[in-house]
């Protein structure tokens, strides 16, 4: 299938943001509806990508290529494969729901907030569809501005601190990645005579071993900060706690996936030998993140901070799966990116609903909500169970495949003996700890007697809140019961990636 479909999906939200600039002030309801409809239209158009995608092909599809700055080897090159398809759909799916969730939470500067959310969507989509490193870097940096504004303008009391911390951490990694991109550009040009930023061309080039290590580190640090991996995670809880609910949904749902996507799209195919060299260190940081994130989640008094630290643990699973370089591990990592976006995004939506009613997120302020708001409590239970990996819900599928991939990786290292199996065994402990902090949190919030009279008269879910949560719930159950329509889209691209890495690393 040809045509500018990817451009339409990517830039439709930005076009909507430009049109919003023409709207008069004081028309908040009109602005909200227009922004929602634009985001919903982007999701509708993105469904054509899924319908027209050939899962049997491993190459890039829906490609668009225009000469941009040919003298510098820069082109407008877009395309998706099975690795990026689901992330594009996740972004367009969550964006209208996030906007819909903000109708009561954001009452000041509604037009500017809606414009920022739509521009943020375009920036994230651009990251997932760019096949030119220069274009990729523009989108990578462009999404920082609307996210900074969302946190810094519409966030909580410490919003300025959180926004600046977010920018400083991300920019530090981005600058190093820019150096790595330029170094790869000049190195490839000197070696082949072709100076280009085109990713498919660069992916055929094998950088010398010494420089490959430094290039890998330059890219990997930027991605590790974005994930965020331990010990680069400290910006995340502050950003989540201070961001408005809609910002937290997009931040957890898709923005963090830019880091894990970067490992898959750039580090593994461009620097395969260095990637394999650093596997033990990546595993170590992933395992520390899995356990540390779970332990810190257990002691959080704030619901939003608990969910934020749980992301450190869950995304540790994702990175672990990606670097097993097994089909099960990588497919599991990709599907777990989607699962985390759905489950954690829904948890932030639920926490936001509670905050709108009580203006507090402290666990100690709640208790007995099952009697006061039973519909909310039922959805809260299902989504908490999906986040901890209950069989039959989406979280189990991704975690199971990642652990299978980790055991397959360990069994392929007979020289390491039983020590190799410590990796999947320690990772499995994260599933147990997730059950502890999520179930204990749910028990304190929803079960028992109503100890705070302010909770007794809380209204249950409204029609708008049902409209936000039910679509997420459908996918949580669908992926848990029948994941084939999602995992099947990734398998050919994953197999091709593994073969490419092994061939360039000299593994037979």
Question: What pLDDT band is residue 339 in, cutting at 50, 70 and 90?
Answer: very high
CB 18 within 8 A of CB 119: no
| pLDDT tens track for 139-149 | 999 999 999 99
Q: Is 196 helix (H, G, I), strand (E, B) or coil?
A: coil
* 51: region left, alpha or beta (phi > 0 left; psi from -120 to 50 alpha): alpha
Domain ranges of the chain: 298-508
Q: If DSSP states are collapsed to H, E and C, what string results for 24-81?
A: CCCCHHHHHHHHHHHHHHHHHHHHHHHHHCCCCCCCCEEEEEEEEEHHHCEEEEEEEC
What is the model's pLDDT at position 27?
86
pLDDT digits (tens, 9 = 90+) for 89-118: 999 999 999 999 998 888 888 899 999 999
Number of H helices, E strands in the chain: 24, 2
pLDDT tens sequence across 31-60: 999 999 999 999 999 999 999 999 999 899
Q: What is the pTM of this model?
A: 0.93
Q: What's the whole-number mean pLDDT along residues 475-489?
A: 94
Mean pLDDT, rounded, for 277-289: 92
pLDDT score at 1 = 45
Average pLDDT in the chain? 91
Residue 387 region by backbone torsions, left for phi larger than 0, else alpha for psi between -120 and 50, else beta: alpha
pLDDT in tens, 454-466: 888 889 899 999 9
What pLDDT does 415 receive? 52
Give tens-digit pLDDT for 362-409. Answer: 999 998 899 889 999 999 999 999 999 899 999 999 999 999 999 888
pLDDT one-digit tens code per residue, 152-171: 999 888 889 999 999 999 88
């Amino acid at each position: 299938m040809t045509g500018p479909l990817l451009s339409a999906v990517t830039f439709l939200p930005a076009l909507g943001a430009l049109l919003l600039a023409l709207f008069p002030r004081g028309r908040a309801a009109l602005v909200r509806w227009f922004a929602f409809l634009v985001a919903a239209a982007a999701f509708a158009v993105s469904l054509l990508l899924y319908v027209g995608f050939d899962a049997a092909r491993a190459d890039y599809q829906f490609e668009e290529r225009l000469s941009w700055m040919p003298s510098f080897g820069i082109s407008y090159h877009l395309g998706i494969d099975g690795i990026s398809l689901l992330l594009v759909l996740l972004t367009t799916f969550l964006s209208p729901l996030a906007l819909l969730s903000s109708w009561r939470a954001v009452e000041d500067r509604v037009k500017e907030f809606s414009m920022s959310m739509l521009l943020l969507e375009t920036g994230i989509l651009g990251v997932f569809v760019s096949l030119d490193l220069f274009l990729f870097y523009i989108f990578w940096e462009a999404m920082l501005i609307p996210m900074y504004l969302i946190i810094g303008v519409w966030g909580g009391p410490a919003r300025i601190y959180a926004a600046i911390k977010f920018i400083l951490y991300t920019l530090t990694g981005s600058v190093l990645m820019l150096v790595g991109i330029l170094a790869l550009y000049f190195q490839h040009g000197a070696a082949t005579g072709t100076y280009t930023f085109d990713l498919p061309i660069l992916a055929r080039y094998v950088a010398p071993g010494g420089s490959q290590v430094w290039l890998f580190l330059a890219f990997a640090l930027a991605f590790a900060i974005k994930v965020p991996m331990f010990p680069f995670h400290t910006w995340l809880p502050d950003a989540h706690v201070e961001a408005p609910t809609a910002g937290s949904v997009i931040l957890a749902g898709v923005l963090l996936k830019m880091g894990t996507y970067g490992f898959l799209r750039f580090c593994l195919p461009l620097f395969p030998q260095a990637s394999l060299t650093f596997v033990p260190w990546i595993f170590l940081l992933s395992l520390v993140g899995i356990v540390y994130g779970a332990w810190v989640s257990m002691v959080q008094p704030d619901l939003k901070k608990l969910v934020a630290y749980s992301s450190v643990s869950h995304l540790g699973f994702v990175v672990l799966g990606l670097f097993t370089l097994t089909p099960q591990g990588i497919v599991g990592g990709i599907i777990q990116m989607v699962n985390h976006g759905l489950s954690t995004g829904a948890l932030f939506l639920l926490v936001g609903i509670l905050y709108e009613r009580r203006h507090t997120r402290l666990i100690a302020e709640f208790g007995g909500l099952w009697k006061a708001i039973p519909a909310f409590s039922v959805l809260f239970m299902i989504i908490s169970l999906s986040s901890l990996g209950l069989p039959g819900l989406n979280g189990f599928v991704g975690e199971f495949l990642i652990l299978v991939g980790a055991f397959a990786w360990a069994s392929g290292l007979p020289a390491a003996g039983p020590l190799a199996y410590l990796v999947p065994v320690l990772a499995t402990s994260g599933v147990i700890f997730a059950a502890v902090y999520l179930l204990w949190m749910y028990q304190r919030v929803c079960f028992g007697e109503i100890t705070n009279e302010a909770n007794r008269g809380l209204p249950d879910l409204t029609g708008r809140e049902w409209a936000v949560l039910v679509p997420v719930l459908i996918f949580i159950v669908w992926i848990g019961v029948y994941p084939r329509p999602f995992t099947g889209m990734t398998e050919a691209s994953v197999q091709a990636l593994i073969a490419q890495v092994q061939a360039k690393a000299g593994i037979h």
